[in-house]
Amino acid sequence: MRSLLEMEEDIVVVGEASNGQDAIEKVVNGPRPHVILMDVHMPMMTGIEATRRIKMTMPDVLVIGLTASEDDSIVADMLRSGASGYVLKSAAASDLVKTIRSVRTSRTITDNDLRQRLTNFNAYNDQLPTDAKKFIHQKLTRREMDVMQALLRGYSNKEIARELVISERTVQTHLSNIFSKMDVNSRTEAVLVAMRDGWTTQQPGM
């Protein structure tokens, strides 16, 4: 995999880790990568737990889950931990490279198939009662809902700023407030919660 990635002119591999704990130590003490390919199933510490810990201390580092499993619950767990994407080990090298570039650009879920799988993941959808879901939705201001709708369309910060005619710094402020109100740690987790609660069918301010 390293050899394949190093063939791409715009990708530089800065390190490798043998397990989740090793990954955390190398990210903390070594060169900070823009994107991490995180194997979900590893000895000592799973990729899901390693991703959660890395995102807690370094939220700007992007993580892509890598696994042989197509289990929707694993996909959901990985994304809830803060991962920005998900690739099967059986995927073509071109798909992996495409996902890395997409996540680096948009920082959130853009793959339609992945969106559909998450939408159909009923176990996650049933975690909160209807009243609790509505309460979370009502916490957001009208402007924050505008930003969430843009996130659901896969917009980057720059695209959101252009769409709403505001600065990128203002977009970042809105995102920080949204994450706090929704009790999430990343754009992907915010999108996952919104999809779970059916926000894609609602209009801003409702």
Residues 102 and 73 in one domain: yes
Residues 114 and 134 in one domain: no
pLDDT tens by residue, 25-63: 998 888 889 999 999 888 788 898 899 889 888 888 889
Residues 16 and 104 in one domain: yes
Q: Give the integer Cα–Cα distance in Å for 90 and 94.
A: 11
Ranked by mean pLDDT, which of 6-20, 85-99, 175-189 comes out on top? 6-20
CATH of the domain at 134: 1.10.10.10
pLDDT tens by residue, 111-159: 555 555 555 554 445 554 444 444 566 688 889 989 988 887 778 888 8
Residues 145 and 170 in one domain: yes
Residues 191 and 141 in one domain: yes
Residues 147 and 70 in one domain: no
Element (H, E) at 28: helix 20-29
Predicted TM-score (pTM) above 0.95: no
pLDDT(109) > 60: no
DSSP 38: E
CATH of the domain at 65: 3.40.50.2300
- What's the structural domain count of the chain? 2
From residue 35, alpha-carbon distances to 13, 107, 112 in Å are 10, 10, 21
Other CB atoms within a 10 A radius of the CB of residue 114 amount to 16
**pLDDT value at residue 137:** 61
Domain that holds residue 46: 2-119
Query: Which of 85, 119, 153 corresponds to the end of one domain?
Result: 119
Residues 14 and 100 in one domain: yes
